[in-house]
Amino acid sequence: MKVAVLDIKGKETGREVTLDKSVFGIEPNEHAVYLDVKNYLANQRQGTAKTKERGEITGSTKKIKKQKGTGTARAGSIKSPIFRGGGTIFGPKQRDYGFKLNKKVKKLARKSVLSSRAKEKAIQILEDFTFETPKTKEFINILNSLSVSGKKSLLLVNEQNKNVFLSSRNLKKANVTTVDEVNTYDLINAEHLILCEGTLDQLKERLN
């Protein structure tokens, strides 16, 4: 599949690139995508929710009333869960929600999303560029020229470009990341993918 290379003004440069079939032309595996997104979201959870059980409550352990003859249920201490201020029964505990996912499944998931976006013609190839200083207005002009302004977009660059990143940071629906840091959640969350020309070889090497 051949795609025209565009400049930052949205015009064709006269050059074309061929999207590698092993990355952009496979049969999408929806279950692999589901697992990778689930793994990413699970790893984002802090898992710090915690309530105190009766053994962790500060208070007296003295038996508050006699065992029999009161006409009410027996009670061992004020820390019992049936009393206000007592312990919580079956409350949440601190835990790690993350789980292991094989690298092959992660690679398959990312290739599946890239292949789906390629079939939808939602991928644009942009020639490599940089900003001398952070300029949000210039970044917005690029999005406007590519007709993706106001839509969820992901710009994939081949190396960490601080000025480009800072230029997009204030834009709610625009995201910039590198080939090394991109994940399936970012790919599937974006309606349009903008790939810098230099990222294609990196993607092929990293995902195969």
- Write out pLDDT tens, residues 114-139: 999 999 999 999 998 888 899 999 99
Q: Identify which has the larger pLDDT, 160 or 3.
A: 3
Instruction: Please determine, for residue 161, whether its predicted confidence score (pLDDT) is greater than 90.
Output: no
CA distances, 98 to each of 46, 50, 92, 95, 185 (Å): 10, 17, 16, 9, 15
> Residue 155 has which token pair?
């710009």
**In the block, which residue shows the tokens 């997009």?**
168
Q: What is the pTM of this model?
A: 0.82
Mean pLDDT of the chain: 92
What is the reported pLDDT for 116? 95
Task: Kindly state the helix (H) or strand (E) to which residue 174 belongs, with its residue range.
Answer: strand 174-178
C-alpha span between 194 and 189 (Å, rounded): 13
Share of residues in the chain with pLDDT > 70 (%): 100
In angstroms, the CA 74 to CA 33 distance is 54
Whole-number pLDDT of residue 1: 79
Percent of the chain whose predicted confidence (pLDDT) is above 90: 76
Q: What is the CATH number of domain 2-46+98-207?
A: 3.40.1370.10
pLDDT score, position 2: 87
pLDDT at residue 208 in the model: 86
Amino acid type, 73: A
What is the structure's pLDDT at 57?
Answer: 92
pLDDT value at position 149?
A: 86
Query: For residue 106, what pLDDT band results from cuts at 50, 70 and 90?
Result: very high
Could you report how far apart the first and last alpha carbons of the chain are, in Å? 18
The residue ranking higher by pLDDT, 160 or 114, is 114
Number of helices (H) and strands (E) in the chain: give both, helices first.
7, 6
pLDDT digits (tens, 9 = 90+) for 173-190: 999 999 999 999 999 999
Q: Residue 188 corresponds to which tokens in the numbers above?
A: 């599937």
**Predicted confidence (pLDDT) per residue in 20-70, tens digit:** 999 999 999 999 999 999 999 999 999 999 999 999 999 888 999 999 999
Instruction: Report pLDDT for 189.
Output: 94
- Give the residue extent of every domain in the chain: 2-46+98-207, 51-91
